[in-house]
């Protein structure tokens, strides 16, 4: 069954913009953790200025999602792609700010804080791959800059053989994550396709029931009229009718 391409894209964007307060909460938690871990190595003001952009972009993205669903409920959205592009742009800002936050805090000597930055980056990019897989551009907008800053931190702030190896592994993680995101995206595409097919089938079924009901309602009076016509034909063909005509 053929599905309108616009309907498919609209449903895909709705999955991207699904209400997800946990993403915003995790953004605030992550910056709090960064502030607690690195407050001794940086001035509080500079650290505050470093972590705040990530919160701002995350909050702005959440607000855009809220406005999207308000407009969706009022049936005011005509171009879903603009909402997707806006969401992807804000996600790019979040990815850049998160990556820079990790690069700034990445220590040249303390392996414990390095491990913290690595764990935060890989954990959040993995979450982005699962959360934004309805839109590959949004996935890339977050994962590419955040992982790129981590690779730069390995090269310029690590500078050891193990860090170069970690750089390669991080790049492979990005490639594997992108492939995994594509697989999830294909699954989402099938879910959207099945949903639209189900809706289309339901509409056709309802149309068939309505047509059947209309035919039934029309057929009843037609049956009565046909019966009356046949009765009149019999009366007109009868001898009694001919005799009545002759008498008159």
**pLDDT tens for each residue of 93-116:** 999 999 999 999 888 878 888 889
Mean pLDDT is lowest, of 17-31, 158-172, 207-221, for 207-221
Q: What is the mean pLDDT of residues 38-66?
A: 88
Q: What is the mean pLDDT of residues 179-184?
A: 68
| Banded model confidence at residue 189, pLDDT cuts 50, 70, 90 | low
173 versus 71: the higher-pLDDT residue is: 71
- Long-range pairs of 112-120 with CB within 8 A, sequence gap ≥ 24: 113/37, 113/38, 113/41, 114/158, 116/37, 117/150, 117/153, 118/150, 118/166, 120/30, 120/33, 120/34
| Residue 213, φ and ψ in degrees, nearest 5 | -65, -40
Joined together, the tokens standing for residue 196 give 């639209």
194 versus 51: the higher-pLDDT residue is: 51
SS3 67: helix
Residue 87: closest CA among 37, 12, 156, 169: 12
Count of beta carbons in the 10 Å neighbourhood of residue 187 = 11
pLDDT at 247: 47
Check pLDDT > 50 for residue 245.
Answer: no
Residue 37: closest CA among 25, 51, 27: 51
Check pLDDT > 70 for residue 2.
Answer: no
| Banded model confidence at residue 162, pLDDT cuts 50, 70, 90 | confident
Check pLDDT > 50 for residue 246.
Answer: no
pLDDT at 1: 42
| pTM, rounded to two decimals | 0.72
């Amino acid at each position: 069954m053929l599905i309108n391409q616009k309907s498919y894209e609209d449903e895909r964007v709705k999955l991207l913009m699904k209400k997800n307060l946990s993403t915003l909460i995790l953004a605030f938690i992550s910056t709090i953790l960064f502030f607690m871990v690195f407050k001794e190595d940086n001035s509080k003001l500079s650290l505050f200025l470093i972590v705040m952009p990530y919160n701002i972009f995350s909050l702005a993205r959440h607000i855009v999602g809220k406005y999207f669903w308000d407009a969706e409920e009022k049936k005011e959205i005509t171009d879903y792609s603009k909402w997707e592009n806006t969401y992807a742009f804000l996600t790019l800002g979040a990815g850049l700010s998160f990556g820079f936050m990790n690069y700034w805090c990445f220590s040249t000597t303390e392996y414990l804080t390095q491990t913290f930055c690595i764990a935060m980056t890989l954990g959040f990019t993995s979450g982005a791959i699962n959360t934004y897989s309805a839109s590959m551009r949004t996935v890339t907008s977050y994962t590419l800059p955040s992982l790129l800053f981590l690779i730069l931190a390995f090269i310029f702030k690590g500078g050891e053989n193990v860090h170069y190896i970690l750089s390669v592994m991080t790049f492979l993680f990005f490639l594997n994550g992108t492939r995994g995101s594509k697989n999830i995206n294909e699954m989402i595409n099938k879910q959207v396709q099945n949903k639209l097919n189900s809706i289309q089938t339901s509409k056709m079924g309802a149309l068939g029931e309505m047509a059947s009901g209309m035919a039934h309602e029309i057929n009843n009076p037609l049956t009565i009229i046909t019966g009356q016509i046949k009765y009149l034909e019999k009366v007109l063909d009868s001898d009694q009718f001919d005799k009545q005509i002759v008498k008159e």
